[in-house]
Amino acid sequence: MLTFKEYLKENKYKSETGGLTRAGVDKYNRENPGHDLKMAVTTPPSKLDPKGKAAGRRKSFCARMGGVKGPMKDEHGKPTRKALALRKWNC
């Protein structure tokens, strides 16, 4: 059984725009029964119902990930996985 970080290391499951691909999410859920990993909420906040589940997931993710220590760019000037994830979730 692979951990979430190990899935990110496998390029076929890692999205170029941050996070996992649909195949990566499906594989993770298949190999980890009881977990219910979902895809990122990529809908712009203005189009989400403010009291809906998706808006709550996005707000919660942004609050948690926004406080994570670490750079937004690596030593080569490319965005880090953290920066890509925050951008994908419209944080």
Query: Which pair of structure tokens corresponds to residue 55?
Result: 């808006």
Tell me the mean pLDDT per 10 residues along the chain, length 91. Answer: 69 81 90 92 92 94 93 94 92 90
pLDDT on residue 37: 92
8 in Cβ contact with 81 (< 8 Å)? yes
pLDDT on residue 16: 81
Threshold 0.75, pTM exceeds? yes
pLDDT on residue 6: 73
DSSP state letters, 45-88: GGGS-TTSHHHHHHHHHHHHHHT--S-SB-TTSPBPHHHHHHHH
pLDDT on residue 12: 77
Q: Kindly report the backbone phi and psi dihedral angles of residue 20, in degrees, each rounded to the nearest multiple of 5, phi listed first.
A: -100, 155
pLDDT on residue 61: 94
Going from N- to C-terminal start, the domains of the chain cover 1-39, 43-91
